[in-house]
Amino acid sequence: MKRVLVIGATGLIGSRFVELAKNIFEIIPVDEKVLDITNQQAVEEYFSTTQLDAVVNFAAFTNVDAAEKERNDTKGLCYKLNVTGVENLAYASKKYNKFLVQISTDFVFSGTTDNPGPYDELSPVPYELLPSMGWYGWTKKEAEVKIENARAKSAIVRIVYPFSFGKYDLKLDYAKNFLKLYDDGKLFPIFTDQTITLLYIEDLINPLSKILEEELQGIFHIVSSDIATPFDFVEYLLSKARNVEGVVKKGSMEEFLKTPGRTPRPRLGGLKTEITQQKLEMKFRTWREMVDEFASKL
Ligand SMILES: NC(=O)c1ccc[n+]([C@@H]2O[C@H](COP(=O)([O-])OP(=O)(O)OC[C@H]3O[C@@H](n4cnc5c(N)ncnc54)[C@H](OP(=O)(O)O)[C@@H]3O)[C@@H](O)[C@H]2O)c1
């Protein structure tokens, strides 16, 4: 059984991976207290003294609005964790010959009308921080570049808008957040002019395990096989999980982003998956199929 170091094992997605992949790999779960990836020496020491075959990094500064407050600050925590931390992992993986999987996002793209998604695995990422891109997305893009530069055996796995039926107390996932807003009577108008793809976290396990098992290198997109708008998603989710129809009001992301102080996010985002499905010889589900299963488990 492969020994896999899981960094960010206490996070929303990492914790679910640890739970669901424990029979596939011998998992070594770590959080910041065990291994602070921003500390280059600590990473080196850990890699040199721990017996492991592969590494998957779920650790990141994921609060997009908080990240924006650090825009252009390469000494800030967001940059340190999302870029320097990943660079430390990439160089240690190269030095100690470990296979590294970095979890990334479609926020590495601008999602604007002049370069709209959904993006495929070969789509070029921006060279410069565009005003339409958030700092979080930019740091995740920089992490991808650092990994490529380090030339370790590696894969970049991009995911988008995760949700799961698993229990997690520290923050709400994309589906549970909307269900809570509805239950609390606080559901706001939902965007009809944003394109997204989605990931039922349970659907990440088999493709990611195959990448780790076979040490498949390159860029992979693991999300629903089709795109949605948040409005379509929430309408369908509420019909399946709460048995209500026609209660969602329509909103515009284009208008929302014009309000001063908003964090830039990809409006026309989402990821294509055909290349990944072909490479992995797997068929990904549609987002409605993912919601069907999620709702049936509630
Ligand atoms: N959530 C989303 O909507 C979403 C969407 C697309 C892509 N992603 C990507 O998916 C990955 C996982 O996201 P998530 O939402 O599951 O993350 P999360 O819940 O915010 O968890 C972050 C993890 O990072 C760890 N961490 C923080 N600082 C660290 C440090 N210095 N050294 C080592 N570990 C540290 C945390 O450990 P402690 O608890 O000890 O601090 C925690 O386990 C990230 O790469 C993210 O960019 C997320």
- Name the residue of 15, 39, 46, 58 to mutate for ligand 1: max ligand atoms within 8 A of Cβ: 58
Tell me how far the alpha carbon of residue 296 lies from the centroid of ligand 1, in angstroms.
Answer: 27
Place of tokens 């284009």: 254
3-state secondary structure string, 142-165? Answer: HHHHHHHHHCCCEEEEEECCEECC
Return the closest-CA partner of residue 275 out of 201, 216, 233, 234.
216
Check residue 197 and give its pLDDT.
Answer: 98
pLDDT tens sequence across 238-254: 999 999 999 999 999 99
Angle at CA 144, nearest 5°, toward 177 and 274? Answer: 70
Q: By three-state DSSP, how is residue 298 classified?
A: coil
Q: pTM surpassing 0.95?
A: yes
Tell me how far the alpha carbon of residue 11 lies from the centroid of ligand 1, in angstroms.
Answer: 5
Residues of the chain with pLDDT under 70: none
Q: What does pLDDT average to over the chain?
A: 97
Residue ranges of alpha helices (H) inside 84-229 are 85-95, 135-150, 174-183, 205-214
Place of tokens 């990943």: 86
Q: Residue 268's beta-bridge partner residues?
A: 195
Find the domain containing 51 and state its range: 3-297
Q: Report the number of secondary-structure helices (H) and strands (E) in the chain.
A: 12, 10
- Name the residue of 6, 7, 12 to mutate for ligand 1: max ligand atoms within 8 A of Cβ: 12
CA trace torsion 77, 60, 271, 133 (10° rounding): -10
Tell me how far the alpha carbon of residue 10 lies from the centroid of ligand 1, in angstroms.
Answer: 8
Q: By three-state DSSP, how is residue 105 classified?
A: strand
Check residue 193 and give its pLDDT.
Answer: 98
Q: Say how far apart CA 222 and CA 210 lie, in whole Å.
A: 12
Length of the chain in residues, anyone?
298
* CATH number for position 178: 3.40.50.720
Domain count, the chain: 1
Q: By three-state DSSP, how is residue 171 classified?
A: coil
Tell me how far the alpha carbon of residue 141 lies from the centroid of ligand 1, in angstroms.
Answer: 15
Query: Which residues make Cβ contacts (< 8 Å) with residue 113, sequence separation at least 6?
Result: 268
Q: Say how far apart CA 11 and CA 15 lie, in whole Å.
A: 6
Tell me how far the alpha carbon of residue 82 lies from the centroid of ligand 1, in angstroms.
Answer: 9
Q: Residue 219's beta-bridge partner residues?
A: 156
Please say whether the beta carbons of 62 and 172 come within 8 A. Answer: no
The ligand 1 atom at the shortest distance from the C-alpha of residue 33 is 40
Tell me how far the alpha carbon of residue 37 lies from the centroid of ligand 1, in angstroms.
Answer: 12
Cβ < 6 A, ligand 1 pocket: 7-14, 31-33, 35-38, 58-60, 62, 81, 85, 103, 105, 140, 159-162
